[in-house]
Amino acid sequence: MITQDKRLLGGVAGAVLLAAVGGFSVARCTADPAAETPNAEKAEEGAEAHTDNLAITAEAIRAAEIAVEAVRAGGLGSEILAQGTVTATPTGEAIVTARAGGAVTRVLKRLGDPVRAGETLAIVQSRDAAQIAADRTAADARSVLAQRTLARERHLYEQKVTARADYEQAQAEAAAAAAEARRAQVAAGAANVTRDGSGAIVASPISGRVTAESVSLGAFVQPETELFRIADPSKVQIEAAVGPIDAQRLAPGDRAIIELPDGRTIEARVRAVTPGLGGETRSATAVLDVTGSLQPGLAVRVRLLPSRGEVSDAIVISEDALQSLEGRDVVFVRTNQGFRAQKVTIGRRSAGRVEIVSGLKPGQMIATQNAFLLKAELGKGAGEEE
């Protein structure tokens, strides 16, 4: 009897995890001598079919990193394979610059630190900031004085003491002073001047993490010098390079499947396709909206499913999902108890994908990544049973 704490062959780390959780067992049928019938051949065939079943717990599947994916019809012509790169959306990355020239007196965040929108990253002590703060104070004072003068001139004009021209002059001066005060206030806000007016605050406009830092304590920086870069990993998109013919088959809203380096797959949608071709690559760029946190710069493989693709009943799977078992081409179909080795007939192959002509139905869940672990365990179980 095969115990549940066996280790898989091949020295695969995922298999060791499977053994730790006791996930595998090969299903068998043991014959009762008292129940033997003349129809022994059929019973033997049934037992052989049962050995294609592999019992495995959900915990063991996760520990072995066996990816499971639903299959769909469409054939190789219904997919466009492309290489893509994870990039930040326009609102997912921010370049933080110095708003005023001066010496860096405080650095509050370092590379990799999380930040919130509006949080202070550094402080620059600056004569420019002091001048901006002084201009704001002076403009506010002139505005207050102009408003008081206007109020006095209005009273005198109503008492018919002064001429109307004096009152109108006071109105114009008050409006000009108010406009100057607003300008000075906006300038101080743009420079993010500290309360005491001695420096400028360098703050993050978005929430995320510090991905680049080019600031040192005490260093003198010029206005608009880049000090930090902030990226929000939840605001990313994928840019995939597609050929000019394939680009014509794509439309906004088309589905896409992103294959990550660790074997996981995630869903995405085509947001747009660039109308022109790149000068060097001579290819268009499909921009995909994707949910979840991905690292900008990560290279991924993209399977685009164009709405104007070929019509075919063939099912397409990855070559990793296809296994050879005792001379048969099989895939491992997910069952309530684990997996079942399902014999299939294959068709065309292209770029790591293979068509399944028969043996699978759309919507069935099959093992993709690390499917060879299931084959190894099933073969081991058959050998021990003999």
pTM: 0.55
Average pLDDT value for residue range 376-386? 63
pLDDT > 70: what percent of the chain? 81
| Residue 33 predicted with pLDDT over 50 | no
Give backbone dihedrals phi and psi of 356, rounded to 5 degrees, phi first.
-110, 110
Specify the CATH number for 80-90+233-305; select among 2.40.30.170, 3.10.450.50, 1.10.760.10, 3.40.109.10. 2.40.30.170
| Residue 193 predicted with pLDDT over 70 | yes
Tokens of 31: 């014959």
What's the pLDDT score for residue 46?
44
Q: Which residue has the tokens 């078992």?
A: 325
> What is the pLDDT confidence band of residue 37, given thresholds at 50, 70 and 90?
very low
Fold held by 100-222: Helix Hairpins (1.10.287)
Digit-coded pLDDT (tens) for 92-116? 999 999 888 889 999 999 999 999 9
- Three-state SS string across the chain, please? CCCCCCCCHHHCHHHHHHHHHCCEEECCCCCCHHHCCCCHHHHHHHHHHHCCEEEECHHHHHHCCCCEEECCECCHHHCEEEEEEEEECCCCEEEEECCCCEEEEEECCCCCCEECCCCEEEEEECHHHHHHHHHHHHHHHHHHHHHHHHHHHHHHHHCCCCCHHHHHHHHHHHHHHHHHHHHHHHHHHHHCECCCCCEEEEECCCCEEEEEECCCCCCEECCCCEEEEEECCCCEEEEEEECHHHHHHCCCCCEEEEECCCCCEEEEEEEEECCCCCCCCCCEEEEEEECCCCCCCCEEEEEEECCCCCCCCCEEEECCCCEEECCEEEEEEECCCEEEEEECEEEEEECCEEEEEECCCCCCEEECCCHHHHHHHHHHHHHHHC
| b/e sequence 80-102, b meaning 16+ C-beta within 10 Å | bbbebbbbbeeebbbebebbbbb
Digit-coded pLDDT (tens) for 282-328? 788 999 999 878 888 899 989 888 877 666 667 888 888 888 888 88
Average pLDDT value for residue range 51-60? 81
For residues 8 and 380, which has the higher predicted lDDT (pLDDT)?
380
Q: Report the residue count for the chain.
A: 386
| Residue 64 predicted with pLDDT over 70 | yes
Q: Which of 340, 334, 332, 344 is nearest to 365 (CA)?
A: 334
The Cα 94–Cα 138 span in angstroms is 33
Note the CATH number of domain 55-76+312-378. 2.40.420.20
Tokens of 218: 């005490």
CA angle 268–286–355, rounded 5-degree value: 65
| Residue 36 predicted with pLDDT over 60 | no
Domain boundary assignment for the chain: 55-76+312-378, 80-90+233-305, 100-222
| Residue 43 predicted with pLDDT over 70 | no
| b/e sequence 217-254, b meaning 16+ C-beta within 10 Å | eeeebeeeeebbbbbbbebbbbbbbbeeebbebbeeeb
Contact 272/212 with Cβ under 8 angstroms? no
For residues 271 and 292, which has the higher predicted lDDT (pLDDT)?
271
What's the pLDDT score for residue 76?
62
Mean pLDDT of the chain: 80
Tokens of 100: 């005023």
The Cα 196–Cα 105 span in angstroms is 14
The Cα 232–Cα 214 span in angstroms is 19
> What is the pLDDT confidence band of residue 224, given thresholds at 50, 70 and 90?
confident
Digit-coded pLDDT (tens) for 226-243? 999 999 988 999 999 888
| Residue 54 predicted with pLDDT over 90 | no
> What is the pLDDT confidence band of residue 268, given thresholds at 50, 70 and 90?
very high
What's the pLDDT score for residue 27?
47
For residues 228 and 377, which has the higher predicted lDDT (pLDDT)?
228
